[in-house]
Amino acid sequence: MRKWISFPHKEGLVSRQAHADLPSEAIYEREAGRSGFFGPTAHFHHKRPPTDWDSWEGPLRPRAFDLNRLNIETKSPFDAPVLLHNAHCQYRYWRCTQKMDTLARNADGDDLFFIHEGEGDFFCDYGRLTVREGDYIVLPRSTMWRLEPKSPITMLMIEATNDSYQLPEKGLVGPQAIFDPAMLDVPRIDDAFLAQQDDTQWVVEIKRRNAISKVTYPYSPLDALGWHGDLSVVRINWRDIRPLASHRYHLPPSAHSTFVASRFVVCTFVPRPIESDPGALKVPFYHNNDDFDEVIFYHQGNFFSRDNIGPAMVTFHPSGFTHGPHPKAFAAGLEYTRKETDEVAVMLDTRDALEVGPSACQVETIEYADSWKMK
């Protein structure tokens, strides 16, 4: 058994409440914390922004990748480039423009798909789902599936390697908060699913330990006539997420947790009102990235804490340094120029360090680390 050392203490010029009513002489608050946003914390009040560096050298620098410049149109989803990875997670980006003529099956772990663009039909062991921009799809490990796009589908793919996706514990706010599990859609064995069951030859590509095996059938193995139980593919759209918000206190990113695995968490930032209390912080607070690597995929809207970031871009902040809002965003927060956010973004926080794949390096925005410099 272990227990954090805990001794709440105040020293020097401080605010009585974190993230609110900051001292006018030291408005740049920095949070140092453990276990993401769930462990003990300390809050420092600085004279200058803790991100006001002159230069960066070394591999720890904050990084940004423009996925719009990436060639991601491949026949098989398993050929999609691996942008980031560790022993517990693979982060891919893939475009499907035509009806898949093979089935995919990932035996390495659960998959989470986020549809960035397009729409179509998703066929799997459990039946058929219509999918569209903004959908999350959770696939249990070893589910067979294929896509029939009605318009080209571009999607983020996050593998929970040797692991499973579950829902976060919602504690005091109750199980219906953020989204009610009743909002989760499951595939249907409908006429369209039955109609695709044919006797032509089908190949199933199975990924196991990152190697591909191919199994050929003289018929479509998506030939279920029914199923029952409590294990299934599920879908939910970001528009069905109702974010937690407080008019008097800026909530940490963990309040927006959507799916959790053993060694990482996926959060969703969706439009919400900005804090209206005069003393409340109105942008994300500066914080140390001490236990988790942070990755954000920008889907749409104006991400209010960043400059020059657009749809289909990814930022990567490895653990080990302080980061926070860009200077323009911090100034806008002080002036309370915006009353609500309009961004939609998917955040991945991993407990284990991520490696950057060669494809991501090819589309990196090298000057990103300089974007915090005070102009």
DSSP string spanning 347-358?
A: EEEESSPPEEPH
Q: Does one domain contain both 207 and 279?
A: no
Calpha distance 375→27 (Å, rounded): 18
What local confidence, expressed as pLDDT, does residue 343 receive? Answer: 94
Q: Can you spell out the DSSP letters for 90-156?
A: EEEEEEE-S--SSEEEETTEEEEEEEEEEEEEEEETTEEEEEETTEEEEE-TT-EEEEEEEEEEEEE
Q: Does one domain contain both 39 and 184?
A: no
Q: Does one domain contain both 105 and 221?
A: yes
- 293 annotated as belonging to a binding site for a ligand: yes
User: Which pair of tokens denotes residue 318?
Assistant: 């490895």
- 323 annotated as belonging to a binding site for a ligand: yes
Using CA of residue 108, residue 112, residue 117, residue 118, what is the dihedral sign? positive
Which carries the bigger pLDDT value, residue 94 or residue 16?
A: 94
In this predicted structure, the answer to whether residue 375 has a pLDDT above a threshold of 90 is no
10 within domain boundaries: no
Which carries the bigger pLDDT value, residue 130 or residue 281?
A: 130
Q: Does one domain contain both 192 and 106?
A: yes
Q: Does one domain contain both 84 and 97?
A: yes
Which of these three, 238, 264, 288, is where a domain ends? 238
What local confidence, expressed as pLDDT, does residue 330 receive? Answer: 85
Q: Let me know: does 344 contact 271? Beta carbons within 8 Å.
A: yes
Per residue in 31-66, pLDDT (tens digit) is: 998 888 888 899 999 999 999 999 999 999 999 999
Per residue in 318-344, pLDDT (tens digit) is: 999 999 988 888 888 888 888 899 999
310 within domain boundaries: yes
2 within domain boundaries: no
Calpha distance 237→17 (Å, rounded): 35
**Containing H/E element for 346?**
strand 344-350
Calpha distance 314→322 (Å, rounded): 18
**What average pLDDT does range 179-184 have in this prediction?**
96
In this predicted structure, the answer to whether residue 350 has a pLDDT above a threshold of 90 is yes
> How many other CB atoms sit within 10 Å of the CB of residue 107?
13
Calpha distance 297→315 (Å, rounded): 7
**What average pLDDT does range 345-349 have in this prediction?**
97
CATH number of the domain enclosing 44: 2.60.120.10
308 within domain boundaries: yes
No. of H helices and E strands in the chain? 3, 21
Q: Does one domain contain both 155 and 259?
A: no
Which of these three, 238, 258, 284, is where a domain ends? 238
In this predicted structure, the answer to whether residue 374 has a pLDDT above a threshold of 80 is no
Pairing of strands 286-288, 28-33: parallel
**Containing H/E element for 295?**
strand 293-300
Q: Does one domain contain both 211 and 322?
A: no
Which of these three, 196, 220, 238, is where a domain ends? 238
Burial of 14 (0-12, 13-18, 19+ CB in 10 A): middle
Pairing of strands 355-356, 313-317: unpaired
Pairing of strands 313-317, 63-66: antiparallel
Calpha distance 268→168 (Å, rounded): 12
Domain count, the chain: 2
Per residue in 190-242, pLDDT (tens digit) is: 999 999 999 999 999 999 999 999 999 999 999 999 999 999 999 999 999 99
Q: Does one domain contain both 46 and 132?
A: no
49 within domain boundaries: yes
23 within domain boundaries: no
Q: Kindly report the average pLDDT of the chain as a whole number.
A: 94
- 85 annotated as belonging to a binding site for a ligand: no
Q: Does one domain contain both 147 and 100?
A: yes
Using CA of residue 277, residue 282, residue 287, residue 292, what is the dihedral sign? positive
13 within domain boundaries: no
Q: Does one domain contain both 284 and 363?
A: yes
> How many other CB atoms sit within 10 Å of the CB of residue 76?
14
Least confident of 93-107, 121-135, 175-189, 298-312: 298-312
Q: Let me know: does 340 contact 272? Beta carbons within 8 Å.
A: yes
Q: Does one domain contain both 40 and 119?
A: no
- Active-site residues, by number, are 250
Using CA atoms, how far residue 270 sits from 146, 182, 248, 262, in Å, is 28, 20, 19, 24
Strands (E), 190-292: 202-208, 211-217, 234-237, 257-260, 264-269, 286-288
For 170, list phi and psi in degrees, rounded to 5.
-100, -5
Does the model's pTM come out above 0.85?
yes
Q: What percent of the chain has pLDDT above 90?
A: 78
**Radius of gyration from C-alpha coordinates of the chain:** 22
For residue 333, the enclosing domain spans 28-64+239-372
Q: Which range is most confident: 48-52, 56-60, 121-125, 290-294?
A: 121-125
Name every residue whose Cβ is closer than 8 Å to that of residue 163 and which is 6 or more positions away in sequence. Answer: 88, 109, 110, 261, 262, 263
Name every residue whose Cβ is closer than 8 Å to that of residue 77 and which is 6 or more positions away in sequence. Answer: 92, 94, 96, 104, 157
* Position 262 confidence tier, pLDDT thresholds 50, 70, 90: very high
Q: Does one domain contain both 221 and 81?
A: yes
